[in-house]
Structure 1
Amino acid sequence: MITNQVSSSGIVRPSTKKYHASEYIQKSCKKTLYPDLCNKSLAKYSTKIKTNPKTLATAALLVAFNTTQSTYKILRNLSRNRALNPGEKEGLLECVEEVSDSVYELQKSFKELFFSRKGLKFELQMNDIQTWVSAALTDDDTCMDDFRASGRMNILVRGLVLRIARLSSIALSFINMYGV
């Protein structure tokens, strides 16, 4: 719920809590490689994130996971297209497998981060999460490196996979910040 405050001058401003949360996300996103995408993908979570580093990392990871899962479904459906030439089909099937691995790794990471607590096992948990998100990024890179197509199919697949790689990179940035 967005609340407004009326100042003595009569100007309506967003509530301080909402402002601080949005500002926190913007400042945090500036520390990533993709600040615009970061802001766009996390803005709607500002009331949940507030100024909590764990919640920020968890939200970023959730966005990466959900987008990767959607991308997997799109790529799987594209791979069933009968108009693909054999090389495109083979490359697309390899991408489907790589992105499927990314979904699995991001899901494990999300669960581990969600239930993580500062304490004895925290460093081990963070190492596991960092490893899994890094593996998801590697899978995305492998898909893009191995995919050979031309025209619109190439642009479409590379655009989809580049987006999930960037979202995973953003999540990894916040995981690294939270883990220190």
Structure 2
Amino acid sequence: MSRFMMILSLALIVLISSSTIPKTAATPPARYQNYKTFVRTACNSTKYPTLCYNSLSSYSSTIKSDPIKLCITSLTINVQSANNATSVLSDLFKKAKSTSRRGVMMILEDCVEEMKDTVDELKQAIAELKKLKGGGNSKQECIKNVRTWVSSALTDEGTCTDGFEERKGNVETKKTVKKTVSELSKITCNSLALITNYLRY
């Protein structure tokens, strides 16, 4: 009888313990769900909402419901993507240089410079947003500067692909450049949309 009671007691302990798991580990606090909702709503205002949400949702607890943090996070991811694009195009440039394809080499060299400019412009945009957060320059001036830097980055990305659109041949190189820069441009486009829609004078 005592053995039966012992087994029954152990079973009850396991049952009670397991029943508390969903309440503590599986169900996130309501505020984190609200932060994700904020990010999703913000991303729905962009041209590529799924791409936006996939890249930003994991940072929702940092972003919370802060428009400035939202835009800084988006631009920080943007810089990472621009650095990756620069690396891809630099590798293509080195390959073209080693195979003496002068025409392609010159276009790729220009593209690499455009990508470096993009990185610098996005970093300038982040620096401006941090001034805004710290209460430095006037809000209106900061937001205008941020938009200008991000718009310039988007223009530089377009300039890179335009150089390949005007040139025949080298299908694989052209395809890689277009895919790489297109993916970057979507992220930059989303960043600009968030800045335009969520930063007010």
TM-score norm. by structure 2 comes to 0.79
Which position in structure 2 is the counterpart of 1:105? 121
Counterparts of 1:73 and 1:84 in 2: how far apart (Å)?
20
Which position in structure 1 is the counterpart of 2:131? 115
Whether the 8 Å CA contact 1:65–1:106 is kept in 2: the answer is: yes
Query: Per the alignment, in what secondary structure is the counterpart of residue 146 of structure 2?
Result: helix
Counterparts of 1:178 and 1:151 in 2: how far apart (Å)?
40
Query: Which runs of 5 or more residues in structure 2 are unaligned?
Result: 1-20
- 1:155 paired with 2:169, answer no
Name the structure with the higher helix share.
Answer: 2
Match of 1:73 among 62, 82, 87: 87
Whether the 8 Å CA contact 1:5–1:15 is kept in 2: the answer is: no
CA distance 1:121–1:143, shift in 2 (3 Å): same
CA distance 1:78–1:125, shift in 2 (3 Å): same
Equivalent residue runs for 1:1-180 within 5 Å: 6=23, 12-81=26-95, 82-83=98-99, 85-117=101-133, 121-147=138-164, 148=167, 150-180=170-200
Matched-pair identity in %: 28
Structure 1 residue 26, shift from structure 2 partner: 1.1
Whether the 8 Å CA contact 2:78–2:188 is kept in 1: the answer is: yes
Whether the 8 Å CA contact 2:67–2:199 is kept in 1: the answer is: no
Whether the 8 Å CA contact 1:123–1:179 is kept in 2: the answer is: no
Displaced runs of 4 or more, over 6 A? none
Structure 1 residue 143, shift from structure 2 partner: 0.6
Counterparts of 2:104 and 2:132 in 1: how far apart (Å)?
41
Q: Which amino acid aligns with 1:39?
A: Y
Structure 1 residue 152, shift from structure 2 partner: 2.3
Counterparts of 2:137 and 2:125 in 1: how far apart (Å)?
18
The two structures, once aligned, show a CA RMSD in angstroms of 2.0
Query: Per the alignment, in what secondary structure is the counterpart of residue 116 of structure 1?
Result: helix
Which position in structure 1 is the counterpart of 2:9? none
Structure 1 residue 150, shift from structure 2 partner: 3.3
Higher gyration radius (CA): 2
Structure 1 residue 72, shift from structure 2 partner: 1.1
Counterparts of 2:175 and 2:54 in 1: how far apart (Å)?
22
Counterparts of 1:166 and 1:84 in 2: how far apart (Å)?
32
Counterparts of 2:137 and 2:31 in 1: how far apart (Å)?
33
Query: Which runs of 5 or more residues in structure 1 are unaligned?
Result: none
CA distance 1:6–1:71, shift in 2 (3 Å): same
Query: Per the alignment, in what secondary structure is the counterpart of residue 164 of structure 1?
Result: helix
